Structure 1
Amino acid sequence: MDFWTRLLGGSSQKKQAAANNPQQRLARFKERYNNILQVWHKAQPLANDPEAIARIRKGFQGLQAILNDESRSPAPHLCLSFAASQQIYTAVSKIAATAHDEGVVRDAVTVYNALIDSEEEDFLENDVFAASLMNFIGRIVGSGSMAVGEDIEADIVELLFGIAAKIRLQSEILPVWFTTHPADANGRLVNRKVDFAGVTQKEDFPLCYQLIDHVHHEGRIGDFARTGLLYIFESASKSEGLEQWIVNSDLPTLMASGLGALYSQLSRKLSILHPSNDLPLILSLSDYGEMQSNHQAESLFSPDFQIHLDTFLSYLTFWQDVLEHCRSIDVRHTLIDHFQILFLQQLLYPSLLESSDIDGGSSVAVLTYLRRILDVLDHPELVHMILHYLLALPDYAATSPRAPRSPAAVKRRQSLMLLNVPEKEDDRMNPSLFNLVDLILSSTQSRNPQTVIAALKLTTVILGKNHGYALGSLIKVVDIHHKEPHRTVGALNAEMETYLNLAIGLAGETGVDEAYESLLKDKLSMLENHPCSLKSLALPNSPLQSPSFFDSETGPREVGPHYLIPEDPLFKALLDLLLRFLTNDVETNLGLTEAIVNLGACSQLRLEGWLSVDPSNYYFADNKDEEPQDFSNESFRDMYRASRQPTWNSSATSPLLACLQSLQAQVEALRADIKDFDEHLANRKQAFHIHEEINEAIKSTPPQIKPSRPSTELPAGMWTPQVPKYLLDNSASPSRTQSPRGRKEGLDHRHTPTSSPAPSKLGGQTLVGSPSRGMSPLPAPRAANHQTTLMADVFSNLAEVANSEFLKRRIRFRRPADSQIVEVMLSKYQPPPKDPPDDPAAQAEAEAREKDDIREASLGHILTNVVILQEFVLEIVALMQVRASLFSEVRFA
């Protein structure tokens, strides 16, 4: 046995020694290469000889294997030296281009990869190698003469990405891949084709143009192309020639027009209704299924549409990544100019201007696209450009210092602006005549629920993420100069108690305390992350720095203390929607409450006058006899007086509270006229509670381990483009988070404001069926098959019980014209007579009733909205308490 072992081991050692012998390895390499040349010369044409193609593929694979083996072996590397001296890559590219075979192309790419990865013989510094490779790629994927599969195209783009990464790290090899031509006396490049707003110079930098041709793809192709092009722009700061070439070339034009092309592919009419066959529970327990979408509109949840939308948003994210990594001021300004003129002014704003609520979807589409754009963008220059233009804001930053531009960048901007000048002055589009504010305000008053939902969600993004731009445009405010709070802690406690009693009166006391504790954590996180909170939470002498990681001085104006004007059109529109809360569809109510909460999340916006009572309307009972007389000093007396709870006249009630009290009166009318109303309401809350418990159980279940697959990500250690989380999750939801109002689950209990005034005194169980977060109108989380089946069965039973015939009873609500009072038409309702009345007074009354706003909804739908309303009121209370604690908004003395 030992004999055979020694014999086999000796044979293996001899083979290994032969494989590592440089001379023998070179002989095998030459033999393979010569065989390839012989087969190629004999087979004419090569594309019609399958046997020759098979032999060439085998030869290419052999060359690649030998090169990889030599790269891992000690010097000398004779095969690499032979490949460089004989320029074998030239023959490889010609053979692959004439074979018209995908397999040959794939194997040729592996040979090129092996040469580049060897990092010897300076292939990337060889101009012949660069020309050969780019000619090969141009014939394969550039000319369109050969159709290759996506996997091969991805391999080619990955090869280009690798070269761009080497250029970024070794700027000395840039002249090999990028060449410039002489300019005339005026600085203009000669012998160039003028294309649109730039000069076409593909022969100068074919690598760059190949990358720009693939940036619009999804998957690996787009990721590698965008990152490779990003490295090119980053290298511009190290090369003055490349910097000026980008400014003068048509590359910025191609990027902007590519973004416009992707936006144009999005449907002009959009439906944001959830599919009727896959409604979440909170929507199925309402009249949501009765909403009809326009058959001409494309569904937001369509897989094909989601692909187009994700591709557009990925390319938009690529734009801001380029601006972040590009340190060349001229290149950045040129890119921003093209974005502004070619995309924003010539495409995005016209789509806003041409949108209509009448055609059944174009306003919904534009509002949804704008929301997703602002949700994705974080770069201050892009955000400022979009909102400053669409909101028609005054140029308050015109006097701020800006980095000077070079003469070439100035001329490029001037020529670009000339392209945007209309032939007739009347054709000039001006946002000052119709802008985003006009579209949002008109959309919130629409009779189409989808338009209202889309407008509310866009409003939430602007108020929550870009609040500084909303001041003076979307919301009308008046600046104030006093910083000391006027409200007292006693007034805060009185108002919180009023709101809290209202919430309990709507849907009962069960579980309010635990729900309130959860909302406190939610609001604390929301306020701490609000863009206006940095100034309020910063230490007195600490320098204020923007939390953004982008290097830019552009941004919204500084936000100071301000009041909301009572006549603000947006706030009045929100109150008008709130007054119809019980008959609104569920998504409208979720969007409405989210918008109001985001309005109150600004630390600089005072709550007085819209959410809280103005301190000038406080009334304190003059009970000096009850005032303790044993105060040691005056400060204790002031603290006692500040803790007193004031009263106020009904006319001084804040508009928001007055609207909520009107809704409470509607609920009381239903409770008085519908038998067992509270029992049905408790059942509805229980249905939501079961749903939430099942979701929590599934989240806590360990996920199943899936078989590992080859990674399609970029190589380890490489920088990857920033991709929004919802794109990684492949979410089809229009919401920003996995819940309608974005609660951050699992927050640390240490953040609970223990020193807040008036802590909750209510004990009890969990708020059964809180729908505002857990009952999001989103698909349920994917889990194991048996869990999914169990959830489907439970939800089916819940929906069947909740949608009983009794709960389908229709209830009408009538709001007289120009009135803030909504009448619940239950047993009082009488159908109008069929014949017109002869009495003139009765006829006039009938005509007046025709102008009334009459809406109806099922009892089950109303029950769901009452549960949502209770949570919203609790959210208002939590917002008031956390603000008072975090921003010191009330006086304790």
Structure 2
Amino acid sequence: MDFFSRLLGGSSHKKQAAANNPQQRLARFKQRYNLILQTWHKAQPLANDREALGHIRRGFQALTAILNDESRSPAPHLCLSFSAAQQIYTAVSKIAATSYDEGVVRDAIGFYTALVESEEEDFLENDVFAVSLMNLIQRTIGSGTIGVGEDIETEVLELLFAIATKIRLQPEILPVWFTTHAADSNGRLVNQKIDFAGMTQKEDFPLCYQLIDHVHHEGRIGDFARTGLLYIFESASKSLTLEEWIVNSDLPTLMATGLGALYSQLSRKLSILHPPVNLPLVLFLSDYGEMLPNPQAEDYFSPHFQGHLETFLSYLTFWQDVLEHCRSVDVRHTLIDHFQVLFLQQLLYPSLLESSDVDGGSSVAVLTYLRHILDSLDHPELVHMILHYLLAIPDYAATSPRTPRSPAAVKRRQSLMLLNAPEKDDDKLNPSLFNLVDLTLSSAESRNPQTVIAALKLTTVILGKNHGYALGSMVKIMPVHHREPQRTIGALNVELENYLNIAISLAGETGADEAYDNHLKDKLSLLESHPCSLKALALPTSPMQSPGYFDSDIGPRDVEPHYLMPEDPMFRSMLDLLLRFLTNDVETNLALTAAIINLALCSQLRLEGWLSVDPTYYHFQETDPEPETFSNESFREMYRANRIPKWDPSATPPLLACLKSLQAQVEALRADIQDWDEHVANRKQAFYFHEEMSEAVKSTPPVKPTRPSTELPSASWTPQIPKHVLESSTTPSRAASPRGRKEGLDVRGTPTASPAPSRLGGQTLVGTPTREMSPLAAPRAANRQTTLMTDIFGNLAEVANVEILKRRIRFRIPPNSQNVEVMLSKYQPPPKDADEDATAGVVEDGEKDDYREASLRHIVTNVVVLQEFVLELVAVMQVRASLFNEVRHG
């Protein structure tokens, strides 16, 4: 055996040595290449000879394998040198293009990839190599004459991305891939007659056009194309010829029209109702299931729509990345001009102008799309352009980019503006007549809950993320003349006590301490990250500059201390919705609380007059004389600041007055409905129990069965429920309450985080993300869990009271009044007509009162949500007072 082993070992060693021998490797390479040429010449036409195609494919694969093996071997690399000297890639390109075979194209692309990755012989600096490769790509994925699959297209784009990366790192190879026939002897483009779309000269830079043709694709194809094109635009700052060529070309037009095409694919009518099978628990335990979607509107949660939305937003983010990485001022301004004219003015604003709440979905769609657009964008120039135009801010024209442009860029802008100019002045779209403010205000007052939700969510994004643009447009304000704080610590303590008393009276003291503690931490994070807080928290010597991007004065105006005007239309709309809190659908209430909390998070907005009492209305008891002696004046001021003031009922802040009205409504329900407090406690326990189960399921690792699955009894899975939960009684403990936002789709830590209780079903239904779509459906595991929890709750807490919880209660709201009448025992619901919406206001006997009704089950859920909202308000007031020194301590 040793003898044969030595023979075999020697044979293997000789074979390995032969494989590593450069001369023998070159001989094999030439032999394979000559066989490919012979097969190609003999097979005419090649596309009809399947046997010849198979031989050529095996030959291409062998050449690629030899090149890859040689790249890993020591020099000399004779095969690579032979490939460069004989330019065999030209033959490979011709053979693949005439084969009309998907497999041959794949193997040819693999051969080119091996040459590029070898990083030898300067293939990327060879103009013949560039022409042959781009001809192959143009005749395959470019013209579409050869139907290639997505996997091959991905390989092609990956190769183009690798070349774009080389161009970015080695600008000297750019002339090989980019040549213009319109340049003079000095390399500058000669003047040519161009229209607004620019010159289309794909032969000048075919690589760039191939990338831009694929930037809107999903998956890896789009990723490679967008990143590659990003590198091309970044290289424009290093080449004056490329910079001028991009300005005069149709690339900016193609990018803007491509974005518009993706936006046009989005449905004109949209339904944002959660699907019944995926309802979060907080919606399931309400009348949410009674809301019917518009059958003509597309479902927001459908995979088809989500795919279109994700593609549009990814392309929009690509625009932002291009502007951030492009260091050429002319190219950047040209792109922004095309974005403004071709997308913003000709597509986005007209869709806003044509939206309507009557058709039951177009206003919802436009408001939702605008929310996602503003939530996805961070580039100051794009955000500035969109909000200045849509909000009709007067100084828009004066705040356009002021950096001097080149003559070519000026001419391009002039031709673009001429395109947008209407034939008649009356046909000109003017945001000053109808803009985003008008749409948002009218939508917030709509009878369609979906329209109200969409409007409030958009308002939350603008208030939280782009607060400086909202002031004076969406929110009416007036400046503060007294910079020093006027409120006192004594007044703050009284106000905090008033709000806390309301919260406790609404849903009891159970769990309030823990919930409040969580809200304090949550609001501290939100206040510190709010854009208006940077100035308030910055050190006096710290430079106040926006991070990143460019040295530009583009951006929102500086936010100075201000008051909220009492007659502000948006705030009045919020108060009207708050007054109807108990009968609103739960998602509307979560969106409403998010908007109000985001309004209160602005450090420059004084709370006096809408959330706190104006200090001018303070009254102090004369019966409590001031001590005559103080060791110094500071003690006297401390004593004065800690006094407990009183004020007349007319001085009550509007928000506090609304909450007191809601408190009175709950008191009326408590007085008339037997076991009211037990119903509320059971609902809080349901949310707490669901939270514990969610955490238990998440923390329990999957258990591998020790016996065949066929031996497991059906429906035998049970979650690991904590022992203290199993042993707890139906009466919740002090910790058993929905707490602050920590789980699920929580976006805490961002300025636009939702103040809605995340513990309610483990879902954050309101809020915008850090580029997160909202609202989102629960994942499958949570769906199974929600169904299980629903069954448990039906068997434990609510089975005995199911008929009581179905009872419907009507509320009468007189016009221009906060005295809401709860029609309890004296109201018996009549049979519902098919065409009557129970949640809409009706007119009875000629009266103009607003009548609304909801089930007791629904009202109880809203009461729990309302308590969390009041606790959030208290947390905001307390954190602001300590963080920004808003009250006088002495």
Taking structure 1 as the reference length, the TM-score comes to 0.89
Distance 1:305 1:525 in 2: 34
Report if aligned partners of 2:742, 2:759 keep a CA contact under 8 Å in 1: no
Task: Kindly state the Cα deviation for residue 737 of structure 1 after the two structures are TM-superposed.
Answer: 10
Corresponding residue for residue 836 of structure 2: none
The residue type paired with residue 808 of structure 2 is R
Task: Kindly state the Cα deviation for residue 399 of structure 1 after the two structures are TM-superposed.
Answer: 6.8
CA separation of 1:481 and 1:546: change in aligned 2, threshold 3 A:
farther
Corresponding residue for residue 237 of structure 1: 237
Q: Which moved more, 1:175-184 or 1:464-473?
A: 175-184
Distance 2:475 2:527 in 1: 19
Matching of residues 472-511 of structure 1 within 5 Å: 472-511=472-511
Corresponding residue for residue 288 of structure 1: 288
Corresponding residue for residue 135 of structure 2: 135
Corresponding position: 1:884 with 2:873: no
CA separation of 1:618 and 1:171: change in aligned 2, threshold 3 A:
same
Report if aligned partners of 1:200, 1:249 keep a CA contact under 8 Å in 2: yes
Task: Kindly state the Cα deviation for residue 75 of structure 1 after the two structures are TM-superposed.
Answer: 1.4
Distance 1:243 1:490 in 2: 64
Corresponding position: 1:857 with 2:854: yes
Corresponding residue for residue 334 of structure 2: 334
Report if aligned partners of 2:619, 2:647 keep a CA contact under 8 Å in 1: yes
Q: Which moved more, 1:400-409 or 1:357-366?
A: 400-409
CA separation of 1:645 and 1:229: change in aligned 2, threshold 3 A:
same
Corresponding residue for residue 787 of structure 2: 792
Task: Kindly state the Cα deviation for residue 238 of structure 1 after the two structures are TM-superposed.
Answer: 0.2
Distance 1:354 1:153 in 2: 39
Task: Kindly state the Cα deviation for residue 470 of structure 1 after the two structures are TM-superposed.
Answer: 0.3
Q: CA RMSD in A?
A: 2.6
Corresponding residue for residue 364 of structure 2: 364
Corresponding residue for residue 872 of structure 1: 869
Matching of residues 589-608 of structure 1 within 5 Å: 589-608=589-608
Matching of residues 210-289 of structure 1 within 5 Å: 210-289=210-289
Distance 1:322 1:866 in 2: 48
Corresponding residue for residue 29 of structure 2: 29
Corresponding position: 1:151 with 2:151: yes
CA separation of 1:246 and 1:769: change in aligned 2, threshold 3 A:
closer
Corresponding residue for residue 730 of structure 2: none
Distance 1:220 1:739 in 2: 28
Q: Structure 1, residues 808-838: CA drift from partner, whole Å, max 9, x if none? A: 111101112332221111113368999xxxx
CA separation of 1:743 and 1:127: change in aligned 2, threshold 3 A:
closer
The residue type paired with residue 686 of structure 1 is Q
Report if aligned partners of 2:371, 2:461 keep a CA contact under 8 Å in 1: yes
Report if aligned partners of 2:690, 2:761 keep a CA contact under 8 Å in 1: no
Matching of residues 300-379 of structure 1 within 5 Å: 300-379=300-379
Report if aligned partners of 1:123, 1:129 keep a CA contact under 8 Å in 2: yes
Distance 2:2 2:484 in 1: 95
Task: Kindly state the Cα deviation for residue 492 of structure 1 after the two structures are TM-superposed.
Answer: 0.5
Length, aligned pairs only: 827
Distance 1:420 1:832 in 2: 57
Task: Kindly state the Cα deviation for residue 631 of structure 1 after the two structures are TM-superposed.
Answer: 3.3
Matching of residues 282-681 of structure 1 within 5 Å: 282-395=282-395, 398=398, 402-547=402-547, 552-625=552-625, 627=626, 631-681=630-680
Distance 1:680 1:76 in 2: 85
CA separation of 1:418 and 1:774: change in aligned 2, threshold 3 A:
closer
Which SS does the other structure have where 2:350 is aligned? Answer: helix
Structure 1: tracts of 5 or more residues without a match: 706-735, 746-766, 835-844
1:771 aligns with one of 760, 766, 787:
760
Q: Structure 1, residues 379-429: CA drift from partner, whole Å, max 9, x if none? A: 000000000000000217827983210000000000000000112221100
Distance 2:49 2:742 in 1: 57
Corresponding residue for residue 723 of structure 1: none
Percent identical among aligned pairs is 76
Report if aligned partners of 1:505, 1:664 keep a CA contact under 8 Å in 2: yes
Corresponding residue for residue 752 of structure 1: none
Report if aligned partners of 1:270, 1:298 keep a CA contact under 8 Å in 2: yes
The residue type paired with residue 452 of structure 1 is V
Report if aligned partners of 1:582, 1:862 keep a CA contact under 8 Å in 2: yes
Distance 1:661 1:355 in 2: 37
Structure 2: tracts of 5 or more residues without a match: 705-740, 751-755, 766-774, 833-842
Corresponding residue for residue 708 of structure 2: none
Q: Which moved more, 1:667-676 or 1:477-486?
A: 477-486
The residue type paired with residue 876 of structure 1 is L
Task: Kindly state the Cα deviation for residue 182 of structure 1 after the two structures are TM-superposed.
Answer: 2.9
Distance 2:201 2:13 in 1: 56
Task: Kindly state the Cα deviation for residue 495 of structure 1 after the two structures are TM-superposed.
Answer: 0.2
Q: Structure 1, residues 7-48: CA drift from partner, whole Å, max 9, x if none? A: 332222211111111110000000000111111111112111
CA separation of 1:768 and 1:265: change in aligned 2, threshold 3 A:
closer
Distance 2:758 2:24 in 1: 77
Distance 2:547 2:703 in 1: 38
Distance 2:745 2:23 in 1: 70
The residue type paired with residue 691 of structure 2 is E
Report if aligned partners of 2:196, 2:416 keep a CA contact under 8 Å in 1: no
Which SS does the other structure have where 2:394 is aligned? Answer: coil
Q: Structure 1, residues 414-467: CA drift from partner, whole Å, max 9, x if none? A: 000000011222110000000000000000000000000000000000000000
Distance 2:97 2:757 in 1: 68
The residue type paired with residue 771 of structure 1 is L
Distance 1:679 1:279 in 2: 25
Report if aligned partners of 1:281, 1:775 keep a CA contact under 8 Å in 2: no
Corresponding residue for residue 81 of structure 1: 81
Which SS does the other structure have where 2:273 is aligned? Answer: coil
Distance 1:490 1:317 in 2: 49
Corresponding position: 1:110 with 2:110: yes
Corresponding residue for residue 727 of structure 1: none
The residue type paired with residue 825 of structure 1 is M
Q: Which moved more, 1:3-12 or 1:653-662?
A: 3-12
Task: Kindly state the Cα deviation for residue 547 of structure 1 after the two structures are TM-superposed.
Answer: 4.1
Q: Structure 1, residues 757-800: CA drift from partner, whole Å, max 9, x if none? A: xxxxxxxxxx99953965747544555xxx87555322333257
Which SS does the other structure have where 2:292 is aligned? Answer: coil
Matching of residues 683-698 of structure 1 within 5 Å: 683-698=682-697
Q: Which moved more, 1:394-403 or 1:110-119?
A: 394-403
Distance 2:323 2:758 in 1: 46
Report if aligned partners of 2:691, 2:761 keep a CA contact under 8 Å in 1: no
The residue type paired with residue 424 of structure 2 is K
Q: Which moved more, 1:79-88 or 1:569-578?
A: 79-88
The residue type paired with residue 368 of structure 1 is T
Task: Kindly state the Cα deviation for residue 575 of structure 1 after the two structures are TM-superposed.
Answer: 0.2
Which SS does the other structure have where 1:812 is aligned? Answer: strand
Which SS does the other structure have where 2:563 is aligned? Answer: strand
Corresponding residue for residue 69 of structure 1: 69
Report if aligned partners of 1:281, 1:799 keep a CA contact under 8 Å in 2: no
Report if aligned partners of 2:277, 2:783 keep a CA contact under 8 Å in 1: no
CA separation of 1:580 and 1:117: change in aligned 2, threshold 3 A:
same
The residue type paired with residue 528 of structure 2 is E
Q: Structure 1, residues 226-250: CA drift from partner, whole Å, max 9, x if none? A: 0000000000000000000000000
Distance 2:639 2:872 in 1: 28
Corresponding residue for residue 814 of structure 2: 816
CA separation of 1:395 and 1:799: change in aligned 2, threshold 3 A:
farther
The residue type paired with residue 55 of structure 2 is R
Report if aligned partners of 1:352, 1:366 keep a CA contact under 8 Å in 2: yes
Task: Kindly state the Cα deviation for residue 280 of structure 1 after the two structures are TM-superposed.
Answer: 1.1
Task: Kindly state the Cα deviation for residue 186 of structure 1 after the two structures are TM-superposed.
Answer: 15
Corresponding residue for residue 828 of structure 1: 826
Task: Kindly state the Cα deviation for residue 345 of structure 1 after the two structures are TM-superposed.
Answer: 0.2
Task: Kindly state the Cα deviation for residue 3 of structure 1 after the two structures are TM-superposed.
Answer: 3.2
CA separation of 1:778 and 1:189: change in aligned 2, threshold 3 A:
closer
Corresponding residue for residue 709 of structure 2: none
Distance 1:742 1:168 in 2: 36
Distance 1:769 1:557 in 2: 34
